[in-house]
Structure 1
């Protein structure tokens, strides 16, 4: 009863009031942020120690000294392949090891080669290919050049900070947490660690122990923050550091809190806010008209990021920046982390796409998902029982709306015990699953990391007996509150725990699912309802004797890694699908994400694009938002526009809170249902494009959804646009994001300084737009402004089916939109849509090229997959005149085809060529 009352109160307060900001810290309430932020620029205390330099084939090392307290640090600069450097700084002789992030990088980075040039006594130049790093000794600074252009400066503002580990002044003090005595502070340090100059951080009242609301942090190792600033001399805007519900371009933090990276459960989160949310990727980019550079700050502790630009306003910031000296005051970011070491990767671009790929070279790309996961998903908290699931599935068929996947939230379980079912509501889950799969549909169910403390629950008993839970410093199992009531949390940093958890997915253990059922990992920040800031205490202990403060932002990442391993063990040849709420750098290797507990209003709809764009350039292309908003009840217009927007974001799922009205499409007026049907059908028509884009993302690391600046880096007017986005470089999507409008302004970006624009074709009418700049586009209930770029070829499937599985052998339509030279290119990728056979070469990857009124194809690799699909139609837009006929040549045999004019395009029906066959098609004038 107590647990039920607590959870009811939590839900009701959340729905009634939205997020309570006072439950989450500001920088001024965070001791390490507060004290580091007091540092004044231009007064760096760090310098290289003369005579300590060592050089190697790929790196240099040296000692660094803090000139006031004389503490020593070790510095390493590594050159990596791909226009990338790595900067590492750690204490030379720490009282205990400091945490170094593991499991974020996909592999050990590939070393480059260097040549060392001695300039003078205070400057050293390291050359690696077209790049060089100039190290200044005193004050310590590094300038990184790409093709002799200064791209990134480290510690140019002099804001570096590194709080060394030391002994607590009062070693007799003991701290009480929840009425229990924690371990004493560490023993006295060696005389070397004691210093005549009292560190400034000791003056802060929260340096050695800290309280927030009723929660106490014992801080047994004292102040240990690290900070460093990075300047981008060629940049005009900065972007990155997800996850925040804010603009794509980062705003100045002058006079406000910094952006915060600390994985937290924030329901009904604020928009236009720098507050921390569910995921953290400490990656930032600086972009200007001439080049792009980036910095990946590899640290899993709580981190704040200050942004230094000319103005909070993006447009005036750009104007002011261009009008002043770049070298004097370029945009900059300062990363401030509570613990760990300095570990920063410098990404030198020089183009936006180069820089994005340099990051995914380090942390990996998303795996090609099964095709169905790119189709439409239907979810709510909760579908009540097996009959409810069956009825919803049947109604999608009754109303002729495609749907691939049903989802079940926490109420399917036996009293919130995961890997179990409620035997009254779901007595025959295998039969329910079979009924879905027989229709070509799938099921996704939720598994969260909080484990119900119930002696009748096998998972809890095993974790207790084997010591698998996260612990207090005195080795007691940590207990918090979440959906089950009293709960504990497995320590997924322990390989043995991760293996135990992953083994639960084996069908020999989880016998009431099939290998086609996939999983949703929620609440994995981790969320703890009665914990500080709705999460764990920082002084809890993980495997390896690391404090939770060191690894907090990695917890969800380790959890989804365990899930991924479990699904691979369950069926090694089936690609897993996992949805996660918490994430870190590298999480794209395991899961898709969504933007969390949003609200049914226009502002949250608008921010779904901004948030997914920022995630995509940070490696996480597979992103979406709860269509309709998780909280609240969307009116028909908002619901329609959200479906139309979601249909062009990678992850497409409708989801709703348990206390909202049921909102399946047929429960709205017929007009709304038909608009939703149209939006979902458009998504299914473009599934061949989505699948091709995700395959190419896995291969080359380019984001699937992209900001305009990715392909139009010289167009300053495009830098701050985040109400539009690109799908690769093929489609430009500008959803309708305001209420009651009859037109929207679409920005067509410029290629160069002369404001030359690409050609863009409306995908509905093939109306051509030739100029860069804003164009007012009329919209109606069904109209979403989407444009195909001239010079591209896009594959579609036009036949309406219940699910994507039933489309597998359907024929393709190729949409050919010509550029000013009458040319176009595009790719199509095909495989079995499910297995890992493609990694053994069982696929078809074909490039189509149109030039001089001739369409040809060539295969990228040898086509080995035995697809039954063929090309049934060509649509060509941009021809100067309508041809009289067409001739297709297949295996030396010619066939004449009719050409029809349809509006502003021409149609060639039934070319009759199999996708595995070479062909050439000529238009006859």
Structure 2
């Protein structure tokens, strides 16, 4: 068994040799076979068409081999078309991804619209959408208003490798297999395939589109690049320390959702497959990267994007999300895989983490440091060193002898603690939890039935089989207070290394031939592994709280559907300007794929940021959904007050601004939870018709109101900001200066500022004052910033509840208010009569931006009482400021300006 010191030393060596660890497409046999595909042509027997209440089925056959497959076409309500292809008589069942869809969709009744010699057209509902199936060669068109929006198998690139019985006496397995049908080599590793080749692939043509996005996680631009002559985008969850930017290598998570957008339509492709998947993207006509933001030049060639999905195993199971608007596509996807979990309010504050805080005195010292320097924060985190020899669910008795008292110390300050829990379990027959997992048959196994042993932080480790419901239930029970000694109800969880990471494994992960419960190979469900640990951990915290309190669990590895479980971060970034810059498109890609609660390690995980980079990263992180500072143990300490007062002041300002905006962030997360609209949005999501915004990924919009352009380069005195919308007004939140939209603005910055603009026509609620944590800020009064549009109008919302329980859902204890500004009046009204939450908030001040004339009088009207108000008007800024209002949110009110 490897000791801790050697494991740590060897892990450092691993960090320095990652480039040779990971495959390129040339090393992936199933990808090579699809790209070098011989003349395989599939046809559909139109005579085999059968209609049921749940859709249509037809037989697909390959002309040469006469292999027969079953094609099913079903239409989910809300215009999501599901196309599945599977073997009719497989030698064994093929893996179909479970648990990702929240339930089996409700399907529409299909009908035959017309049938010719070579095709059949199906429709449903009012007939606006149709599916046209061509028999020979097989292709499938999706039409909207008689226009083809996407075609499946337009270039006959479909390939479906059927499962086979192993050859007798393993004769093939003992020979070289250059095609990788039964085994393939990568470095020292040999992957033996129990059922031979099993891959599936399908090509799609997206008609009229030349901007596609999504399929995270990659350290790349927001708009996906043309992969012609280069590497495909790889979806294979891997532990890639200090990953390169501008790369299509798969990282920690995989969401096989691709979005295509053009001015009048958004389309989604959801490829439901959990095995290793590669995606090729080809734009027609091709464009130069530097010209993608310019209007498309006229060309005789039709505009289209070809997308080719190739997966190692499973079945073809894809959803076409027909939109047509961006918000409808996001909603269609959320109805399949779930909405973003509604986080507790405190989790939207600032989190302080390091690998590792040394002991209880260190934790208390850091906690006190935030108070001493007047920097608010909500959560302190502990990495692997807090445990007894990397045994999760334990505490190092010398470093952390009184964990309950430590958590209570933090709880008295209304703060929480998060601890790490990885999926590997130290092989230790003297450890009761290990014995319980072993005796309960909760570990993944090797082919001969023995338990799989890999290496990770504890040394020799076994890996929990989270794909098994019984294992997930057992693991969830491990979080109960009577079992997890030293834990309290203010302790929350961080799942790391759950790709899963295996030191010295192939590509530093688990061999694909490892066997899960039910006989499934790891190759079938690799990308689901972290999703399942995340699910089990969330279930554990839910059970611990009796189902009343919202859990918080951060995960590094994720899949489609992970949004309904909690938060995600971008993993082991480096303390470089390139990584700071790359985080923005990475987080935007995650947001488009429904992973809305996402962030990056402030300061970069690996390496030592200089003070300027650290400040700029805090400024950026404060304007992103998940806000956590984190650092490798091999770095210098970097608590915010260790770089001199000037740096501390700038970090304090950034963090305090985040806390003042918590009412707005919380409202946005409620929208994500109920309407699938991410808080962090690319410009085109808000301005879908404005092509000049389609490729912008250095800035973004928080909700619909705040445009943020973090500074991501050193020594910058000026930032180019694109302000979208030809009829829009944008207000600099620092100067109140108004700018028209549809322009590039050279905006001056100092190290104290970051460009943020409020959109005309919006109302943003903030807290006024200062506190030490989110609980303090909840007690502060509200200030409304009203930014007028060209017509003198604005609108906004405020959502409130208790901030931590599920009572908003089961008892309707919440309140939702609408702020509506029309010329001469600002009104606040409750949106629902059913809610029962009694808000303790009150609006103490209002700032109106873009007020073109000074009012002669301002009065407040509430419950039939009229009160004159004092006000201040600045003509040079066109700014009206009202103070001392004390307008409670428990009732409707109106401010009139004469």
SS in 2 for 1:228: strand
- Aligned equivalent of 1:823, options 789, 793, 796: 793
- Aligned equivalent of 1:473, options 433, 444, 447: 447
Following superposition, the deviation at residue 543 of structure 1 comes to 1.1
Q: TM-score, normalised by structure 2?
A: 0.97
SS in 2 for 1:574: coil
Following superposition, the deviation at residue 912 of structure 1 comes to 1.8
What is the rounded CA distance, in whole Å, between the counterparts of 1:429 and 1:352 in structure 2? Answer: 47
What is the rounded CA distance, in whole Å, between the counterparts of 1:147 and 1:803 in structure 2? Answer: 53
What is the rounded CA distance, in whole Å, between the counterparts of 1:562 and 1:53 in structure 2? Answer: 42
What is the rounded CA distance, in whole Å, between the counterparts of 1:497 and 1:270 in structure 2? Answer: 36
Contact 1:134 1:143 (8 Å CA) reproduced: yes
- Aligned equivalent of 1:582, options 557, 575, 581: 557
Name the structure 1 match of 2:857.
885
Following superposition, the deviation at residue 171 of structure 1 comes to 3.9
Deviation by residue 1:531-580 (Cα, 9 ceiling, x = unmatched): 10000010111111110000000010011110011111000211000000
Following superposition, the deviation at residue 317 of structure 1 comes to 5.3
- Aligned equivalent of 1:808, options 778, 781, 784: 778
1:349 and 2:323 aligned: yes
What is the rounded CA distance, in whole Å, between the counterparts of 1:36 and 1:668 in structure 2? Answer: 54
Name the structure 2 match of 1:553.
527
Contact 1:913 1:919 (8 Å CA) reproduced: yes
1:770 and 2:740 aligned: yes
Q: How does 1:225-244 map to 2 (within 5 A)?
A: 225-244=199-218
What is the rounded CA distance, in whole Å, between the counterparts of 1:321 and 1:153 in structure 2? Answer: 22
What is the rounded CA distance, in whole Å, between the counterparts of 1:112 and 1:626 in structure 2? Answer: 45
SS in 1 for 2:10: helix
Contact 1:81 1:110 (8 Å CA) reproduced: yes
With 132-141 and 610-619 compared, the bigger mean Cα shift is at 132-141
- Aligned equivalent of 1:84, options 74, 80, 83: 80
SS in 2 for 1:910: coil
Name the structure 1 match of 2:113.
117
Unaligned stretches of 5+ residues in structure 1: 177-184, 186-201, 751-755
SS in 1 for 2:483: coil
Name the structure 2 match of 1:188.
none
Contact 1:234 1:326 (8 Å CA) reproduced: no
- Aligned equivalent of 2:159, options 152, 158, 161: 161
Following superposition, the deviation at residue 696 of structure 1 comes to 1.1
What is the rounded CA distance, in whole Å, between the counterparts of 2:91 and 2:292 in structure 1? Answer: 45
- Aligned equivalent of 1:856, options 827, 838, 842: 827
Following superposition, the deviation at residue 757 of structure 1 comes to 3.7
Contact 1:638 1:739 (8 Å CA) reproduced: yes
Contact 1:796 1:812 (8 Å CA) reproduced: yes
What is the rounded CA distance, in whole Å, between the counterparts of 1:158 and 1:106 in structure 2? Answer: 32
SS in 1 for 2:48: coil
Name the structure 1 match of 2:759.
789
Deviation by residue 1:468-491 (Cα, 9 ceiling, x = unmatched): 100011110000000000000111
SS in 2 for 1:855: strand
Q: How does 1:834-849 map to 2 (within 5 A)?
A: 834-839=804-809, 840-849=811-820
1:601 and 2:599 aligned: no
What is the rounded CA distance, in whole Å, between the counterparts of 1:266 and 1:823 in structure 2? Answer: 49
SS in 2 for 1:76: strand
What is the rounded CA distance, in whole Å, between the counterparts of 1:175 and 1:277 in structure 2? Answer: 31
Contact 1:311 1:317 (8 Å CA) reproduced: no
- Aligned equivalent of 1:897, options 869, 874, 878: 869
Residues 580/313 of structure 1: CA separation in 2 closer, same or farther (3 Å cut): farther
SS in 2 for 1:653: strand
- Aligned equivalent of 2:666, options 691, 709, 713: 691
What is the rounded CA distance, in whole Å, between the counterparts of 1:311 and 1:385 in structure 2? Answer: 57
1:874 and 2:846 aligned: yes
Name the structure 1 match of 2:383.
409
What is the rounded CA distance, in whole Å, between the counterparts of 2:670 and 2:492 in structure 1? Answer: 20
Q: How does 1:178-193 map to 2 (within 5 A)?
A: none
Following superposition, the deviation at residue 28 of structure 1 comes to 0.9
What is the rounded CA distance, in whole Å, between the counterparts of 1:757 and 1:438 in structure 2? Answer: 50
SS in 2 for 1:49: strand
Contact 1:228 1:335 (8 Å CA) reproduced: yes
Deviation by residue 1:103-123 (Cα, 9 ceiling, x = unmatched): 111122122232221231211
Following superposition, the deviation at residue 326 of structure 1 comes to 6.0
Following superposition, the deviation at residue 170 of structure 1 comes to 4.9
1:719 and 2:694 aligned: yes
SS in 2 for 1:542: coil
SS in 2 for 1:643: helix
| CA RMSD after TM alignment | 1.7
What is the rounded CA distance, in whole Å, between the counterparts of 2:233 and 2:97 in structure 1? Answer: 21
SS in 1 for 2:612: helix
Following superposition, the deviation at residue 316 of structure 1 comes to 3.7
Deviation by residue 1:656-698 (Cα, 9 ceiling, x = unmatched): 0010000001111211111100000010010000000001111
SS in 1 for 2:870: strand
- Aligned equivalent of 1:25, options 23, 26, 29: 23
With 893-902 and 568-577 compared, the bigger mean Cα shift is at 893-902
SS in 1 for 2:219: coil
1:296 and 2:294 aligned: no
What is the rounded CA distance, in whole Å, between the counterparts of 2:363 and 2:588 in structure 1? Answer: 33
1:730 and 2:705 aligned: yes
Unaligned stretches of 5+ residues in structure 2: none
Contact 2:173 2:182 (8 Å CA) reproduced: no
Q: How does 1:59-70 map to 2 (within 5 A)?
A: 59-70=55-66
What is the rounded CA distance, in whole Å, between the counterparts of 1:139 and 1:789 in structure 2? Answer: 51
What is the rounded CA distance, in whole Å, between the counterparts of 1:135 and 1:322 in structure 2? Answer: 33
What is the rounded CA distance, in whole Å, between the counterparts of 1:68 and 1:294 in structure 2? Answer: 33
Name the structure 1 match of 2:653.
678
Residues 119/174 of structure 1: CA separation in 2 closer, same or farther (3 Å cut): closer
Residues 10/276 of structure 1: CA separation in 2 closer, same or farther (3 Å cut): farther
Residues 52/203 of structure 1: CA separation in 2 closer, same or farther (3 Å cut): farther
